[in-house]
Structure 1
C-alpha cells in the first residue's frame, strides 16, 4: 500500500502551458468578436434596406447566415443589436472626424466642417447613411454633441452665432443633417458639392452667421478638404 502511494506521488501529469491556455483564450475571444461584428454588420445592412421599420431578427440572421441561437448568444433582441450598432457607429465616426474637426478653433469653421464631414460620408457610403436614418445617434454621440454645443456657446460669445437655446439648436443641427441625408439617398443629386454647400449655408444662416462670413467659410472649405482628403476618404 505504501509502495503504491509512493508511486502515485511520483506520477506526474502533463499540464497545459500557460502560453497554450492563453493562446486558446485569445483565439476564442477573436472568434466571438468576429461573430458579434458579423451580426452588427448584418444589422446595418438590413437597416439600410428597411428604412421605416425595426429590423427583424429573421432578416438579420438570414443576412448574417447564422442560426437564431447564434444571434441570441450575443444580443437579447433586434433592438439591442441596433443600440449596440449605434454606439459602435458613433464611436467610429467620432474617432474618424475629430482629427480634422477638433483641430479647428473657429466655431463657424467647425460647424461648416462638421456638417460637411457627415454629408460627404453619407454621399459616399449609402449603407452607412441608411443606418443613420434609422438610429437615434443623438443618444450615443454625447461627446460629439457636447462639441457642437460648446461651439455654439463659443460662437455666441464671439458674436458669430445668435442662438437663444443651445440645446434646441444642437438638436436642430442633427435634424438638418438627417434631412439632408434622406434627400441624398432618395434622389439623384448631380451637383453634390453644391447641395452640401447649400445645406451648410442654410444651417449657418439659421444660427445667425453673417452672410459674408458664410461665403468666406464655404470658400475656405474647398481648400481645407483638398488638404485633408488626399486619400478620397471624405
Structure 2
C-alpha cells in the first residue's frame, strides 16, 4: 500500500467533511424551498442528501443548527451580490438604505426565505454575522460624517436597524407586509437612525435601481447603479 503524507491525508479528510456538510446544507435548502421549514425532519434531510443518518450528527447537533447554517448561507449569498453596488456608493446613509432594500426585495420575492432568515438571525448570533459587520461599517461612517448621526452610538444604531429589518422580514413572511410597504420600511429605518424627512426623501430618490440580483440570485452585474453616487444625505 502506498504511503500517504499525513498532512495530505488530513487535508483530504477536511475536504470530504466540507463536501458532506455542503451536501446537507444544500439538501435542507432544497427541502425548505418545497415545504414548510417546521415540517422538515432529519430523516428528510439525509434522504435528500443521500447520506446516512449518523453522518448528519457528525456535522450538526440538531435540525435547528442546520437550519441556522442554511439561513446564514442565504444571507451571505445576498450580501455577496450587493457588494459591487454597495462599494460604488460613497454616501453612508445611501449604502445603508441600499443594503436594506436588497434584503427586503429578496424577502418579498421569497417570503419563505424571509421567515427562515428572520427566525434564525434573531435566535442565532452567527447568522448574518458578515452582513452585520458590513452594516456596522456603514453606520460608523454615517455617525462620523453626519451631525444627525451623533444622536446615538454606532452600536445602538446597528441594533435599531437590525431590529427593524428582522421585524419587517418576519412580517413579510407572515404576509402582513407587501411590496406596497417596501419604501415605507426603508424610510422608517433611515428615520430611526436620525435622518429627517427631507434627507429620507433624498436618499430614496437616489437609491440605485434594484434589479433581480438580490431577488433571484442572478449575477451582480444585473444590478447597476445609475451613476457613481457621492455626496451627503441632504
Fold similarity call, TM over 0.5: yes
Alignment TM-score, normalising by the size of structure 1: 0.69
Query: What is the aligned counterpart of 1:201 among 187, 200, 217?
Result: 187
Mapped pair 1:177 → 2:162: no
How far apart are 1:130 and its partner, in Å? 2.7
The match for 1:119 is 104
The match for 2:196 is 210
The match for 1:134 is 119
Alignment TM-score, normalising by the size of structure 2: 0.69
Residue correspondences, number: 208
How far apart are 1:138 and its partner, in Å? 4.8
Query: What is the aligned counterpart of 1:147 among 129, 134, 157?
Result: 134
Q: Which has the larger radius of gyration?
A: 1
In 2: Cα distance, 1:187 partner to 1:127 partner: 10
How far apart are 1:69 and its partner, in Å? 2.4
Change (3 A) 1:30 1:126: farther
Of 159-168 and 101-110, deviating more is: 159-168
How far apart are 1:209 and its partner, in Å? 0.2
The match for 1:42 is 27
Change (3 A) 1:72 1:205: same
How far apart are 1:63 and its partner, in Å? 5.0
Query: What is the aligned counterpart of 1:187 among 151, 157, 175?
Result: 175
Query: What is the aligned counterpart of 1:91 among 41, 64, 76?
Result: 76
Alignment of 1:68-83 (within 5 A): 68-83=53-68
RMSD: 3.8
Q: Mark the runs of 5 or more structure 2 residues left unpaired by the alignment.
A: 3-7, 214-219, 225-234
In 2: Cα distance, 1:88 partner to 1:162 partner: 34
Change (3 A) 1:79 1:230: closer
CA contact (8 A) 1:163 1:169 kept: no
Q: Mark the runs of 5 or more structure 1 residues left unpaired by the alignment.
A: 1-12, 16-21
The match for 1:7 is none
1:129-169 Cα offsets, whole Å, 9 max, x none, are 23202312653444432332232232223224343232222
